[in-house]
DNA sequence: CGGTTCATTGATTCGCGTCAATGCAGGTGG
DNA sequence: CCACCTGCATTGACGCGAATCAATGAACCG
């Protein structure tokens, strides 16, 4: 299992230059991210400790049990967080998209692994340096607590999904949730992008690839969605999809 | 669905007197709870805003969607948090025991309902007054963030359980988790108490009552546990139980 | 162009859910 | 004290939804 490495030096210094050229002040996800807790010149204190890093698709960013030296903010692309059982069963605990923050659980070690779903750009913060900013900027900690609360609520929704929903309800809920998040980020919402594979979706929804695939077919046959290609869904009938998602 | 009401006035004022007679300084779960973030005289600031309340078994403490005016600390007894689907399917998202804090997700409305599993005593804080203490005692907010992180990690473990584990693995994991928590609270660990019903366990583990009952029988037959009565488990073979829980 | 990964579909299996019956403990009222 | 009820736990018989096993085809790629 290849660990995540910085890009080759030439490329890496390229992205570091990019970071200087496009500082936090011009960040396209700032007002959605935790950095929004900082105002005006305060943002420079964040800028001092951050590295903007490109990560190609399919890379391990960190693994469960690693020293949690860094936390991340997603700028573009998507990340999957997951836990593995010794026999290889995998549960994806979340997909992260631009403006999402990785590492709320500020423990000594990561409680899950993280891999890039596609090419992506992240902001990386040394954890202890970010924590050191809490003293000067309590709003940052408040913001993090707020984010943690949102994550907990999402986690509870996911427990309901995994514990009590049928395959069709799970997939419908998943699509609607992605739709919400896409619209919160200001992305287009007629069609939404699914950067992850069917296997990823299955491991997120507690299903197998085959069941995910069959359920896509079912939703398509019911006229709720269209899938022009495997990584794109069009929402044809939002109301019907809501009904299919089962409420709760 | 009867809402939680304070106890009848006579009784209620009795418990308020009790709160004054047994102030926070003598609280038996303080060093385990969020209140541990406050030292010496600071604890009085908490004591000013807290009410200690008795709640009989089976009461609704709050419901999903209610205004989240209060947060709680469990002193004794047990609480179940859950979400309902319109057709009545229920997912219990957590059981809370002494020293646990309810309401980390400090949103305007509760994201889940809460009912007492058995008779219990809680400390109740007006949410906005607790938040007001953050400014004077940033350690309190840090402590809450830490607690939220722990909850998030627990939530991810539960997702793995619900998404990928078999019935036997779920029940074994559940028993071991209760054992850990009991020992963290300093409770006895040869036998652990199960204040909730089989139905509650099923709704927590994503199973039916019948499957929970059959799985208890199976663990008993394998010599891993004994159940002198339905609300008590003895751990006969912790190693075997760990193996049965499937790692991860 | 063979090799790999991914998505889809079909046939079959199986773990858990559903339905049903029994027994026990606790509470209530006659 | 006993008859009755209710809630909970357990067990058995059966069915179903999703997993497993297997095959095919498309896209991509060194």
A158-216 pLDDT tens trace: 999 999 999 999 999 999 999 999 999 999 998 999 999 999 999 999 999 999 999 99
Task: Give the mean model confidence (pLDDT) for residues B217-242.
Answer: 98
Cβ neighbourhood burial of B36 (10 Å; 0-12, 13-18, 19+)? middle
Q: Which residues of A95-122 are buried (b: 16+ CB within 10 A; e: fewer)?
A: bbbbbbbbbbbbeeebbbbbbbbbebbb
Rounded distance between C-alpha atoms, residue A148 and residue A140, angstroms: 12
Measured between CB atoms, which of B90, B146, B152 is closest to A152?
Answer: B152
Q: Does B105 touch chain A (CB under 8 A)?
A: yes
Residue B17 has pLDDT above 70, yes or no: no
pLDDT for res A25: 85
pLDDT for res B16: 45
A145 with B150: Cβ contact below 8 A: no
Q: B159, B166, B169, B204: which to substitute to probe chain A, counting the most A Cβ within 10 Å?
A: B159
Residues A227-240: pLDDT tens digits? 999 999 999 999 99
Measured between CB atoms, which of B86, B158, B159 is closest to A247?
Answer: B86
- Number of residues written out for chain A: 248
Q: Does A86 touch chain B (CB under 8 A)?
A: yes
Cβ < 7 Å from strand D, B residues 173-202: 197-199
Reading phi first (left if > 0) and then psi (alpha if -120 to 50, else beta), residue A246 is in left
**Better pLDDT: B56 or B17:** B56
Measured between CB atoms, which of A83, A105, A163 is closest to B149?
Answer: A105
Task: Give the mean model confidence (pLDDT) for residues B216-232.
Answer: 98
Cα angle for residues A58, A59, A62 (degrees, 5° grid): 135
B106 with A146: Cβ contact below 8 A: yes
Q: Which residue has the tokens 């078999």?
A: B166
Residues B75-134: pLDDT tens digits? 999 999 999 999 999 999 999 999 999 998 778 999 999 999 999 999 999 999 999 999
Q: Which residue has the tokens 């199960």?
A: B194
Report CA(A214)–C1'(C11) in Å, whole number: 14
A248 with B134: Cβ contact below 8 A: no
Taking a contact as any Cβ pair under 8 Å apart, which residues of chain B between 4 and 63 contact chain A?
Answer: none
Residues B131-177: pLDDT tens digits? 999 999 999 999 999 999 999 999 999 999 999 999 999 999 999 99
pLDDT for res A160: 98
Rounded distance between C-alpha atoms, residue B143 and residue B104, angstroms: 11
Residue B11 has pLDDT above 60, yes or no: no
Rounded distance between C-alpha atoms, residue A125 and residue A116, angstroms: 17
Q: A150, A159, A171, A201: which to substitute to probe chain B, counting the most B Cβ within 10 Å?
A: A159
Residue ranges for chain A with pLDDT beneath 70: 1-22
pLDDT for res A153: 97
Rounded distance between C-alpha atoms, residue A94 and residue A155, angstroms: 9
pLDDT for res B247: 84
pLDDT for res B22: 56
A86 with B246: Cβ contact below 8 A: yes
Q: Does A115 touch chain B (CB under 8 A)?
A: no
Long-range (24+ apart) CB contacts under 8 A made by B177-184 are B179/B235, B179/B238, B181/B97, B182/B97, B184/B32
Q: Does B212 touch chain A (CB under 8 A)?
A: no
Rounded distance between C-alpha atoms, residue A30 and residue A28, angstroms: 6
B206 with A152: Cβ contact below 8 A: no
Q: A94, A133, A163, A207: which to substitute to probe chain B, counting the most B Cβ within 10 Å?
A: A163
Q: Which residues of A75-90 are buried (b: 16+ CB within 10 A; e: fewer)?
A: bebbbbbbbbeeeebb
Q: Does B107 touch chain A (CB under 8 A)?
A: yes
pLDDT for res B107: 84
- The tokens for A201 are 């979706």
Who's near B35: CB < 8 A, 6+ residues apart? B24, B27, B43, B46, B73
**Better pLDDT: A106 or B11:** A106
pLDDT for res A15: 44
List phi, psi (to 5°) of A149: -60, -45
pTM: 0.93
Q: What is the largest CA-CA distance in chain B?
A: 56
């Amino acid at each position: 299992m290849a660990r995540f490495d910085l890009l080759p030096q030439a490329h890496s210094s390229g992205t570091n230059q990019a970071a200087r050229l496009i500082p936090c002040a011009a960040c396209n996800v700032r007002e959605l991210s935790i950095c929004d807790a900082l105002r005006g010149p305060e943002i420079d204190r964040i800028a001092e400790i951050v590295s903007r890093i490109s990560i190609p698709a399919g890379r391990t960013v960190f693994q469960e049990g690693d020293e949690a030296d860094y936390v991340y903010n997603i700028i573009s692309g998507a990340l999957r967080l997951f836990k593995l059982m010794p026999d290889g069963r995998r549960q994806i605990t979340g997909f992260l998209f631009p403006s999402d923050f990785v590492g709320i659980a500020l423990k000594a070690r990561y409680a899950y692994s993280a891999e890039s779903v596609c090419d992506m750009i992240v902001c990386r913060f040394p954890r202890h340096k970010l924590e050191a900013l809490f003293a000067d900027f309590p709003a940052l900690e408040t913001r993090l607590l707020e984010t943690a609360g949102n994550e907990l609520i999402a986690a509870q929704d996911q427990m309901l999904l995994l514990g009590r929903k049928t395959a069709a309800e799970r997939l419908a809920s998943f699509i609607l949730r992605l739709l919400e998040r896409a619209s919160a980020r200001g992305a287009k919402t007629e069609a939404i992008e699914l950067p992850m594979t069917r296997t990823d979706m299955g491991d997120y929804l507690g299903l197998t690839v085959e069941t995910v695939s069959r359920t896509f077919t079912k939703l398509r046959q019911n006229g709720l969605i269209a899938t022009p290609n495997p990584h794109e869904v069009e929402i044809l009938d939002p109301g019907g999809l809501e009904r299919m998602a089962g409420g709760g």
